[in-house]
Structure 1
């Protein structure tokens, strides 16, 4: 292993009345791609700030190669003292060059002259990314970089990081983002840190082995695990197994829903034996909506039935919020009509988390200060209910203001899911949640008896939860696809919408029409065979990463460990080349008609 360019030995920091973590040893190589994983409240953000040198440790020694530039992309950058986004981007002694910032801003699609006070969450996030990337870092520390970004911007960031020549550590709830980019994992767990030379694709298999080994050791010592640890070990592994069963059920639901789709993607429920009127929750016929000269929704026909899980995806500004307001009756269409079932009783969980008053206790938020809470008509003790949402019992009287962003989001979910309802509206529900809470949210949505509408840019989460995806491309057309994000993406690729990944803001000039000639025999063969090759390479990478998850492999067989590492790097390079080649051929095929 090459010498690290940044390291911490025996790192420890006190938070509140005790140690948040202690005795951590961390090293970062010049080209490491590290996923930093841990539950909300474990200290992931604090650890990034320590590595960046933004805060002082209570014990430990930090070493860094002279000249190494470490840049931290914070989850919530403070823009209060900057009139415009550009003032923020170019602030400080270590400010990036103006031309570097402008070049990245143009690619990412952000107007830096925008006033900071009126900027949206997505605009503030993009400005922070511009500043971080333009500073030319050697080590880049990213805290939830995909929060508030649309899919086009996430694709662009993935491409940039794929070409990045330095090291990075990333905290993210976006499984797809982590799987595509990371090659090593730091797992912050119960005050200690473990490192594995595997990307996030092999993380779950690795943690299952660690948990199993801990359970065996506890049994050998005849020691009783602490209540919280027993609950964690059994709860997390059990939930993952249950979610595998739920995924199988979800695929069955998608197949049924696909069979109900007409040729235009509309639901034809007349084939069912039940009374259609008792099943239809939202009935949309020929709906269009425009603002000024711009058409947002064009001629949409759709029936949403009881039990459907609807995912709404698209770039920022494509019309997701407008569509959501139309479907919930908050906005009237210009043409067509929308009929909502009279018995709808909705819960709306938005991005602002506005119900979480910082001066209230957890007990007050959940149970109005009492010991019991009614959950969907069933009375539960507040501490037992908190454990269902991965809270430790001692937090029941903590102030909301002392919780992390992810813990506040989880508390809001616990509060809202307790209320009786038959329509659940979730606007970017995955922001700030850790991976275990995402597993829990997937479980709760799967078990929910009513209908769910989800606006999200989290591709993996949509693939795990929704039965129908409504995809918006900004033209007013709404694709209605039985399945999740991946199914929508396949539809888009088949129609070659956009070809290569485009600038998320700029509209490229129309190229002159290509002469009408055929693809060569080799090009045609590559165009047909490359998708299958890409699938095979993805499967090979996942298989090898799972093998690397064995914590004893390096000590037992270092040669096999090296072979697997090289095989994964080779497969990733071949996959990237194959995808690039297929996109080029897809553009040619589109140009040829």
Structure 2
């Protein structure tokens, strides 16, 4: 175990009238890939600022290797006082080299000459990332780095961090981002911090084990856990088990939706209108939308048709500027198409939750936001006491008279969700709903969406969230084409890869023609070895996955590193090797499956 590049001993911080946390020992080694996990309000952002040295602690000692650079990428970097994004990126005595900033900005597709005051959230986020990465950090502290980024930018950032030689600590609601990149976890929970030498992929198994151990210890001491202190932990573990059932149901709904759909980009017209499950609420026929005129114009949506039925969960994905917001406005009737038609059901009653969270006035109280100052709230036609309803959304029931201002961004978002889900509606429109939410709230949001009896439209860049919630994905690539896929983000990506491969096959066929112009004899079936690999690889992949899960469960023991460091190192190396074998096996199987399909089965 190498010496840490950054550490805190006996860290404590007072917030308000009490300790936010106390007696924390934290260390970051030179190449750590740490996920920092905790509920909204637990102090994750504050802890990053303490590690960065931008705020002082009330107790404890911070140590850092001389000359090491610790860079914090804030969740909402301030652009105040900067005319352009370039001015912001190059500000300060320790500013990065201009050519380094420009190189990263170019790769991320951001024009740094943009006015800082009118730049979008995505543009500001890219400028902040360009500044942070160009400063050549030894430790990079990332607070929700994927917020406001489109999928292409997230992919680029993941690639950069995978090659990064330093250490990083990341707070993120993006499960896919954390699972792909992290190898260690810091869990900030009830004022204490735990560290496990496992990535986010093993986090749930680890926390479940911690809760089970706590429960057993409480039973041994014959002390019942206080309900108001521990309802969250029991709710989270129970919710995970329920979500497994919901995922099964989601796959069934996707299969049913796929059977209703016709060719790519259309929907079957022969749906029975008196079937409650398939009642059409939005129907788009041959819709096109263009902005600008002449050569300067651009067709954002081209010849798009879709029937949206009751209880559909529609996800809209694509790069920034590809037309997601335009498509959403067309489907909700806010924008008229240039060609084609969009028909909305007369009974449609929409609730729209936007990115700006504009309803959360800082001076209001939780009671005023939820229940207009009263004690009771009507939730989808049924009355509930405000304290009981707060509890359902993971709040302390006694915070009814708390002001909105001091709440964290995630807590405000969660309160807004509680308010809007209570209102009667049959169409729910969610624009980037996962920004600022912690993982427990994301679990809750997935649960509420699954139980919602109406139709849901979701614009999101959160790949894991889409895979867990939507029945149909509308994918935009900026050309005007809209892919209509029964499934989530991964299914859309799989079908895109298949189309790209199919487009390459004619070129490959031409290349196989000899110089004489005589084509080589084409293959009609897989070789014996290829056929055998195609049949056996799925079982091999399952075996590898089972081995990874088994080893990660063993690593979830927080005491393993101290008790048996050799075993810890052995398991870590085995997991890394198994992941590499799994990636190789999956790629081989995908190539063989595409080859078999091209050969006619």
TM-score (norm 1): 0.91
- Residue 336 of structure 1 is matched in structure 2 by 340
CA apart distance, 1:124: 0.2
- Residue 389 of structure 2 is matched in structure 1 by 385
- Residue 591 of structure 1 is matched in structure 2 by none
- Residue 255 of structure 1 is matched in structure 2 by 255
| SS of equivalent to 1:400 | coil
CA apart distance, 1:219: 1.5
- Residue 115 of structure 2 is matched in structure 1 by 115
Report if the CA contact (8 A) 2:272-2:278 is conserved: no
CA apart distance, 1:497: 7.9
Distance 1:579 1:276, change over 3 A: closer
Paired residues in the alignment total: 576
CA apart distance, 1:571: 3.5
Q: Distance in 2 between matches of 1:538 and 1:497?
A: 27
Report if the CA contact (8 A) 1:312-1:456 is conserved: yes
User: C-alpha offsets along residues 406-432 of structure 1, whole Å, 9 cap, x if unaligned?
Assistant: 000000000000000000000000000
Report if the CA contact (8 A) 1:201-1:542 is conserved: no
CA apart distance, 1:329: 0.3
Query: What are the residue-to-residue correspondences of 1:183-332 with 2, within 5 Å?
Result: 183-268=183-268, 270=270, 272=272, 274-275=274-275, 279-292=279-292, 293-332=297-336
CA apart distance, 1:577: 7.3
- Residue 155 of structure 1 is matched in structure 2 by 155
User: C-alpha offsets along residues 64-113 of structure 1, whole Å, 9 cap, x if unaligned?
Assistant: 11011100000000001100000010011111000110110111110011
Report if the CA contact (8 A) 1:13-1:58 is conserved: yes
Report if the CA contact (8 A) 2:9-2:26 is conserved: yes
Runs (5+) with no aligned partner, structure 1: 501-511, 587-593
- State which of 469, 472, 475 in structure 1 corresponds to 2:473: 469
- State which of 337, 354, 361 in structure 1 corresponds to 2:358: 354
Distance 1:307 1:584, change over 3 A: closer
Q: Distance in 2 between matches of 1:8 and 1:499?
A: 55
Report if the CA contact (8 A) 2:277-2:309 is conserved: no
- State which of 423, 429, 447 in structure 2 corresponds to 1:425: 429
CA apart distance, 1:233: 2.1
Query: What are the residue-to-residue correspondences of 1:396-435 with 2, within 5 Å?
Result: 396-435=400-439
TM-score (norm 2): 0.90
| SS of equivalent to 1:264 | coil
| SS of equivalent to 1:286 | strand
CA apart distance, 1:555: 5.3
Q: Distance in 1 between matches of 2:143 and 2:248?
A: 33
Asked if 1:516 corresponds to 2:511, the answer is: yes
Report if the CA contact (8 A) 1:151-1:457 is conserved: yes
Distance 1:280 1:176, change over 3 A: same
| SS of equivalent to 1:385 | helix
Report if the CA contact (8 A) 1:72-1:132 is conserved: yes
Q: Distance in 2 between matches of 1:570 and 1:580?
A: 16
- Residue 517 of structure 2 is matched in structure 1 by none
Distance 1:273 1:296, change over 3 A: closer
- State which of 548, 566, 571 in structure 1 corresponds to 2:555: 548
Deviates more, 1:576-585 or 1:56-65: 576-585
Deviates more, 1:232-241 or 1:473-482: 232-241
CA apart distance, 1:498: 13
- Residue 445 of structure 1 is matched in structure 2 by 449
CA apart distance, 1:482: 0.4
Report if the CA contact (8 A) 1:38-1:434 is conserved: yes
Report if the CA contact (8 A) 1:201-1:546 is conserved: no
- Residue 568 of structure 1 is matched in structure 2 by 575
- Residue 141 of structure 2 is matched in structure 1 by 141
Query: What are the residue-to-residue correspondences of 1:43-62 with 2, within 5 Å?
Result: 43-62=43-62
Q: Distance in 2 between matches of 1:41 and 1:76?
A: 16
CA apart distance, 1:221: 1.3
CA apart distance, 1:278: 7.6
User: C-alpha offsets along residues 220-247 of structure 1, whole Å, 9 cap, x if unaligned?
Assistant: 2122323333311211111111111111
Report if the CA contact (8 A) 1:173-1:435 is conserved: yes
| SS of equivalent to 1:2 | coil
CA apart distance, 1:263: 2.2
Report if the CA contact (8 A) 1:326-1:332 is conserved: yes
User: C-alpha offsets along residues 302-342 of structure 1, whole Å, 9 cap, x if unaligned?
Assistant: 10000000000000000000000000000111111111000
Report if the CA contact (8 A) 2:273-2:280 is conserved: no
Q: Distance in 2 between matches of 1:395 and 1:276?
A: 40
Q: Distance in 2 between matches of 1:339 and 1:128?
A: 42
Q: Distance in 2 between matches of 1:498 and 1:61?
A: 60
Report if the CA contact (8 A) 2:476-2:482 is conserved: yes
Report if the CA contact (8 A) 1:270-1:276 is conserved: no
CA apart distance, 1:217: 1.2
Report if the CA contact (8 A) 1:389-1:437 is conserved: yes
- Residue 372 of structure 2 is matched in structure 1 by 368
User: C-alpha offsets along residues 440-470 of structure 1, whole Å, 9 cap, x if unaligned?
Assistant: 0000000000000000000000011000000
CA apart distance, 1:268: 2.0
CA apart distance, 1:496: 2.5
- Residue 506 of structure 1 is matched in structure 2 by none
| SS of equivalent to 2:92 | coil
Query: What are the residue-to-residue correspondences of 1:28-107 with 2, within 5 Å?
Result: 28-107=28-107
The structure with the largest alpha-carbon Rg is 2
Q: CA RMSD in A?
A: 2.9
Q: Distance in 1 between matches of 2:219 and 2:53?
A: 41
| SS of equivalent to 1:356 | coil
| SS of equivalent to 1:117 | coil
- Residue 503 of structure 1 is matched in structure 2 by none
Report if the CA contact (8 A) 1:4-1:28 is conserved: yes
Query: What are the residue-to-residue correspondences of 1:454-465 with 2, within 5 Å?
Result: 454-465=458-469
Distance 1:418 1:381, change over 3 A: same
Q: Distance in 1 between matches of 2:463 and 2:122?
A: 17
CA apart distance, 1:486: 0.8
